[in-house]
Structure 1
Amino acid sequence: MKKPELVFIPAPVMGHLISAVEAAKLLVDINDRLSITVLIIKPLLESEVTGYVQSLSATTSFSDRIRFIDLPQPPKDELAHIPRAKFFTTYVESHKPLVKEAIFTRSEESVLTGFVVDMFCLSMMDLATELGVPSYVFFTSNVAFLGLLFYLQTLQDEQNMDVSEFDGSDSELPFPGFVNPLPAKALPTSVIQKDSSPIISEMVRRLRQTEGIMVNSFVEIESHALESLSYAENIPPIFPVGPILNLKGDGHDQSCSGEFDVMQWLDDQPPSSVVFLCFGSMGSFGEDQVQEIARALEQSGHRFLWSLRKPQPKGTISPPTDYSNLEEVLPEGFLDRTVEIGKVIGWAPQVSVLAHPAIGGFVSHCGWNSTLESIWFGVPIAAWPVYAEQQFNAFQLVKELGLAVEIKMDYNKGLRLEIEPPIVTVEEIKRGIVGLMEPESDVRKKMKVMSEKSRKASVKKGGSSYSSLQDFIGHVLGNMP
């Protein structure tokens, strides 16, 4: 009897690729008959993907059952005139012929059992239909955000509501995924702006057509959101399988040259004394905002490790880079005055830093992968979202779960990161840092409890996410063609 094989198609974004690969590892670990082929769509901007995949191929203990195929990039002239709001989805869709060709070159020793596509690669479901196999989705955000997508589409399609009216509104929504009313200002711009909301609506319609959705979250942190979806109509089975994290690096580190220096500095700091500031792969601020952060850190008196990145040029979507000279953007004399208590760096080895016992708090953009890492290591968060669904995550962490304090929850650069929001002041930042570093706060206590729950969910046989992975495999095998 031929062995079942799943084809994974992650989005061409490093964070999505990493969590998809970690999910694949978990699945083949649980079922020794299952094999997985991961099709790599190369990002246009993130060059480290090639090194990451090469490292995985060499180091993974399941190399005989997890195979990686690098897809060539389509001709760039095919993408030259695509509107920016549609560029990402069109870029993914342009790979359909390449995906189809790769699938036809698979080994004949296994039977194609289904596609597992990223939340941003749903157009690949067409190929699964063509091949007569089911499609599943790997959703890299949280259950509440998945519920929000279904909720907004219902408002739009069934109640004829124009969700773009929420853009800039002061209203509140009775969103069933949360106990508290959801402020419209916490809604991601990508789901309510006129130029992007039709794309999101189409994505949600496709989500409803899948056989099941794996979500990188766990029951214990989102029990209310999961329960609310259980009452909703026309929603596929939901499998909370997180936290799925890459805790070992596996070649993903962009640079190891400065990591030893950073970790050595942390080794010299007292336990839980350092506040860590890091805003993700696309997180950066203009010079005026950087000056406010610096003054707040200095006035707070707390030890700090600050990952400070140089913004991308205006009008581009390239990622931030490291400064060649930090003094050009920081207040005069700041580095000298804080030399005993602080360290400013460029790129940060985030997992290694969060795991270090000297870290006492995390000023974060609230990206979901970073949030799960912080929860895993029991580090409380000060919420300062920057883009995408991060302000929604921030609301959930601060108001729903009590795992974070607020710095500025409605700070949002918009879909294309081109809009500079109003400056977050020294007072706002300092207040957030002081609250974050309070040693006996409720936030710190709740985070410690949730950290323990996250580890039990995923690493113990019988844990909720371990069981959910088993349920997913059972569902896949039950739907074999």
Structure 2
Amino acid sequence: MAELIFIPAPGLGHIMPTIEIAKVFVNRDQRLSVTVLVIKPPSSSSGSEVTAHFESLAKTNTINRISFIELPQDEAPPMRDLNSFVTSFNDFIKSHSKYVRNVVTDLKNRTGFGRLVGFVVDMFCTCMIDVANEFNVPTNVFFTSNAAFLGFKMFIQTLSEDMNQDVVALSNSDIVMSVPSFVKPLPTKVFWSILQTREGLEFALSSARKLKKVNAIMVNTFLELETHAIKSLSDDISIPPVYPVGPVINLEGGSRKPYDDDVIKWLDGQPPSSVVVLCFGSMGCFNEAQVKEIAHALEHSGHRFIWSLRRPPDKTTKVPSDHEDFRVVLPDGFLERTDGIGKVIGWAPQVALLAHNAVGGFVSHCGWNSLLESLWFGVPVATWPMYSEQQMNAFEMVVELGLAVEIKWDYAKDLFNPKAKTNVICAKEIENGIRRVMEDTKIRTKVKDMSVKSRATVVEGGSSYVAVGNIINNFMKTIS
């Protein structure tokens, strides 16, 4: 038996696709076995959802040849703002190296453990390359974002270290730049938000340097979607081989809540493609002024809707949570006026919603997992990015690929300070986005075509299917 060690970053958006690609590996080759080493989130961040997810997996794990080991944890310093995040997150991940080393040593000494053939680490866990090297096995990175963003990260290193450009100044400017992994010039105002500080830039540069030291990079995308970006990466000899292996999606959608069945039952009674879903990810939330603008937009649009409305963090919750009473933040009489037309819910079973034939549009924060899900199910997106690289994802989908419509593709908010002043998008602008995503037949046709391609690429003979086979063969060479 050939053994692989998988190390995802401690966030649901990284853990869930990592487990899915692990499933792909063991299902493709009966000689493979995977051990997932779980890094728990720091206590100062959103750990409850991750912990619940793994507890659920531990109880129900029937995946043959995949096992989970939770690593011990040193206490991390609090991540109160972006600067403290970038200066401590690397150290937090790196502090687990000793535990990874101990666990892998113990596994290798166990009776029945096969031959260790490699590590597969998250894009934010590249410090584990050093541990893999101690065991004399190759490291592949699983890049949970897209190929265009991977190319952007590599370009930033070139820009800073080879061309002596002031990347922080550029990121805080309002110009456009040519980036090799994008066909069209990229506005600096949609640059990865972390690059707006010196600490953030160093974090990005360190990540790019590490990425260039790995054996290969597996990207959660597919050739038919990001043809140009993948070619630009392949043409750059300084970058390790890039394998598009996606879309890697958790089609089961994670844990379910008691009210999910009521939402699905309501959808069952709606006409095909008539409902717009508004869902902004596990960290997505808005202040009361913005909530009211969204409500007015929905009411005036006349379209049926399901709106996942979360309460901003406070001193006790630290992360968004469900409202106890939606009437506290919604306009007076909104729920009564939209009764039967729409539903306001808390946490949303996003995959189940997008899979339903009554859903015809999706207002999204543009997390890459969510965009892949929307393409898989053929549901067009209206973009409303918030943080991290989501503005770049939105730009790629709207401007580069023509697979989404814009509410905003340059909206941004401070993830670490939800009460910080953020521009309020007016109801008319939101309404226009909702109307376009529900009524633009050209976009809908393009998204449906890409849906067919996304499903074809992962079955036998598809480009991602072939890429996964090549990666497995590379690992298996060590035992042949």
What TM bracket, shorter-length normalisation?
over 0.9
Matches within 5 A, 1:51-450: 51-57=52-58, 59-63=60-64, 65-75=65-75, 83-106=84-107, 107-108=110-111, 109-249=113-253, 252-253=254-255, 255-313=256-314, 318-414=318-414, 416-418=416-418, 419-438=420-439, 441-450=441-450
Cα distance in 1, alignment partners of residues 63 and 303 from structure 2: 44
Indicate if the aligned counterparts of 1:189 and 1:415 stay in contact, CA closer than 8 A.
Answer: no
- Is the partner of 2:277 in helix, strand or coil? strand
Name the aligned partner's letter for residue 33 of structure 1.
R
Change beyond 3 A, Cα 1:79–1:398: closer
Offset from partner CA, 1:379-410 (integer Å, 9 cap, x none) = 00000001110000000000111110000111
Change beyond 3 A, Cα 1:430–1:78: closer
Indicate if the aligned counterparts of 1:387 and 1:417 stay in contact, CA closer than 8 A.
Answer: no
Task: Give the TM-score, by structure 2 length.
Answer: 0.94
Indicate if the aligned counterparts of 2:275 and 2:304 stay in contact, CA closer than 8 A.
Answer: yes
Cα distance in 1, alignment partners of residues 77 and 215 from structure 2: 35
Unaligned runs of 5+ in 1: none
Identity level (%): 49
Name the aligned partner's letter for residue 379 of structure 1.
V
- CA positional deviation for 1:191: 3.1
Match of 2:5 in 1: 7
Cα distance in 2, alignment partners of residues 172 and 416 from structure 1: 27
Change beyond 3 A, Cα 1:414–1:54: closer
- Is the partner of 1:83 in helix, strand or coil? helix
- Is the partner of 2:198 in helix, strand or coil? coil
Change beyond 3 A, Cα 1:333–1:415: closer
Name the aligned partner's letter for residue 229 of structure 2.
A
1:472 to 2:471 alignment? yes
CA RMSD of aligned residues (A): 2.1
Indicate if the aligned counterparts of 1:190 and 1:415 stay in contact, CA closer than 8 A.
Answer: no
Change beyond 3 A, Cα 1:80–1:271: closer
Name the aligned partner's letter for residue 34 of structure 1.
L
- CA positional deviation for 1:50: 3.7
Offset from partner CA, 1:46-104 (integer Å, 9 cap, x none) = 223344334434545543x1111011222457999993332222221111111111111
How many residue pairs align between the two structures?
A: 472
Change beyond 3 A, Cα 1:156–1:79: closer
Cα distance in 1, alignment partners of residues 479 and 408 from structure 2: 48
- Is the partner of 1:39 in helix, strand or coil? strand
- CA positional deviation for 1:167: 2.5
Cα distance in 1, alignment partners of residues 317 and 171 from structure 2: 22
Indicate if the aligned counterparts of 2:17 and 2:249 stay in contact, CA closer than 8 A.
Answer: yes
Offset from partner CA, 1:187-213 (integer Å, 9 cap, x none) = 111134322110110010000000001
Indicate if the aligned counterparts of 2:405 and 2:437 stay in contact, CA closer than 8 A.
Answer: yes
Indicate if the aligned counterparts of 2:38 and 2:68 stay in contact, CA closer than 8 A.
Answer: yes
Match of 1:451 in 2: 451
Unaligned runs of 5+ in 2: none
Match of 2:50 in 1: 49
Cα distance in 2, alignment partners of residues 195 and 361 from structure 1: 38
Identify the match of residue 19 of structure 1 among 9, 17, 40: 17
- Is the partner of 2:282 in helix, strand or coil? coil
Task: Give the TM-score, by structure 1 length.
Answer: 0.94
Indicate if the aligned counterparts of 1:317 and 1:416 stay in contact, CA closer than 8 A.
Answer: no
